[in-house]
Structure 1
Amino acid sequence: MTSLKVAETLKELRHHRGFTQKQLSEQLHISRQAYSNYENGTRLPDLETACVIADYFQISLDQLVRVGLHPEKPADPFASLPKDMQDFLSDYHCLPDEKQKRVQSYTQFLRDR
């Protein structure tokens, strides 16, 4: 999975700069074949090469390897709940801490009955 994020990120960065694989590999001082393997996801760059690539594009290693240039929003943990429950939880999270504690106490009271 990581190699796919590296490949996707490298391809996007290269296209954004308007380079061919050959031009970019020359800029990075690596062979075109090695760069092509990174971009196709068949190989991962070693740490030193990954650092060179990240420095060249002025991105973090995390962006290059894990999250990419456009991190996805985390999945909504409440998405599978019924709409009324989603609304309740949304309202609950908007309450001040003291009122959330009162709701929790009342829920506990109802459960214990």
Structure 2
Amino acid sequence: MNTSKQCNGEAISSAFDSQNVGENLSHNLKLIRKQKGFTQEEFSSQLSISRPAYASYEEQRALPSLAVVIIISNLTGIDINTLLEDKLGEEVHND
């Protein structure tokens, strides 16, 4: 979904696509959790959210709030933009 907004009389293009964000975040959460050897229950506990809520993020049924994304970023040491915009590879080992 590309949108165009006006700012100071100039058109600004926004390439935010919630589908891609959901796919990237789902992929990244699953990869990070598995690399750390956590179950969904263990990882969701570290995030102070329920396991069903966490599972909905991995399964792309919901997007987490900004507060949860910030907690994930702080816990993993991975930049928020990277979590949302890129699919991480197997090289992620932020212990």
Instruction: Give TM-score, length-normalised by structure 2.
Output: 0.70
1:46 pairs with 61, 65, 68, which one?
Answer: 65
1:60 and 2:79 aligned: yes
Residue 24 of structure 1, CA deviation: 0.5
Say which structure is richer in helix: 1
Aligned match of 1:81: none
Residues 39-87 of structure 1: per-residue CA shift (max 9 Å, x gap): 11111111111000111000000111111324xxxxxxxxxxxxxxxxx
Task: Name the Cα RMSD after superposition.
Answer: 0.9
Q: Which has the larger radius of gyration?
A: 1
Q: Work out the percentage of aligned pairs sharing the same amino acid.
A: 34
Q: Whole-Å Cα distance in 2 between the matches of residues 68 and 47 of structure 1?
A: 19
Aligned residue pairs total 70
Within the candidate set 35, 49, 56, 2:54 is matched to: 35
Unaligned runs of 5+ in 1: 71-113
Per residue, is there more strand in 1 or in 2?
2
TM-score (norm. length: structure 1): 0.60
